[in-house]
């Protein structure tokens, strides 16, 4: 029994160390991107990315990207969150439903706070009409990543076979990445807006999940 307890303690320590390392890495990457593109106005990476995507984008691809980008919009995510939370409440998983609502609301508040703080303007000549607001970080990329991470976590808690869990998780995260790419292809965000959003999303998900897992374990 003593060896078993020691083994579990070592696992918890290693897990905590891994999470701490990931937090530091992605916070550093977010800060580095912010410094380079917001404060130093470094635009070479963004220019090269936009040029590459414009050279390889056809009308058909742009049409597909318009559909993909909708999956990261408020008009899709708000009903999707509502359905997920309603399902959890019906399953008597009230604390999980409240946790997801808190993650969604808090991440949105942080997003708009950062947009107002950095005030980076969007690329010229977007391929979507009526685009307003600031560019950094990308709201679609951040919100889609967090929602897909929540879905992935919920899948990990099910009794599905491990292969199906990994397939679904890979599918969800591929959708989040595709939404981020769509924002660049449609020229409504710079590539660094999207990369910074993914870094921020990873940090926010790791912190939120750890906080709420501890909350759920409390009597």
Q: How far is CA 200 from the centre of its chain?
A: 7
Nearest in space to 71 (alpha carbons), one of 174, 165, 168, 162: 174
- pLDDT one-digit tens code per residue, 124-163: 888 888 788 899 999 999 999 999 999 999 898 888 899 9
Q: What is the DSSP string of 55-79?
A: HT--HHHHHHHHHHHHTTSHHHHHH
CB 129 within 8 A of CB 184: no
Whether omega for the bond prior to residue 137 falls within 30 degrees of 0, making it cis, is yes
The domain ranges of the chain are: 2-217
Mean pLDDT for 89-99 is: 87
DSSP 8-state class, residue 100: H
- Determine phi and psi for 121, rounding to 5 degrees: -80, 155
Mean pLDDT for 211-219 is: 63
Predicted local confidence at residue 150, as pLDDT: 94
């Amino acid at each position: 029994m003593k060896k078993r307890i020691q083994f579990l303690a070592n696992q918890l320590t290693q897990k905590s160390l891994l999470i701490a390392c990931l937090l530091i890495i992605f916070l550093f990457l977010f800060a580095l991107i912010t410094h380079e593109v917001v404060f130093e106005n470094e635009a070479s990476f963004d220019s090269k990315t936009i040029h590459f995507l414009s050279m390889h984008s056809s009308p058909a691809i742009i049409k597909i990207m318009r559909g993909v980008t909708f999956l990261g919009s408020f008009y899709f995510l708000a009903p999707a969150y509502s359905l997920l939370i309603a399902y959890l409440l019906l399953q008597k998983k009230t604390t999980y439903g409240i946790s997801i609502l808190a993650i969604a609301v808090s991440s949105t508040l942080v997003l708009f706070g950062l947009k107002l703080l950095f005030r980076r303007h969007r690329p010229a000549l977007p391929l979507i009409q009526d685009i307003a607001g600031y560019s950094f970080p990308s709201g679609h990329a951040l919100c889609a990543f967090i929602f897909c991470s929540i879905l992935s976590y919920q899948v990990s808690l099910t009794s599905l076979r491990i292969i199906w869990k990994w397939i679904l998780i890979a599918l969800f995260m591929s959708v989040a990445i595709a939404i981020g790419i769509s924002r660049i292809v449609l020229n409504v965000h710079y590539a660094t807006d999207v990369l910074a959003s993914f870094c921020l999303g990873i940090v926010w998900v790791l912190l939120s999940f750890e906080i709420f897992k501890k909350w759920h374990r409390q009597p």
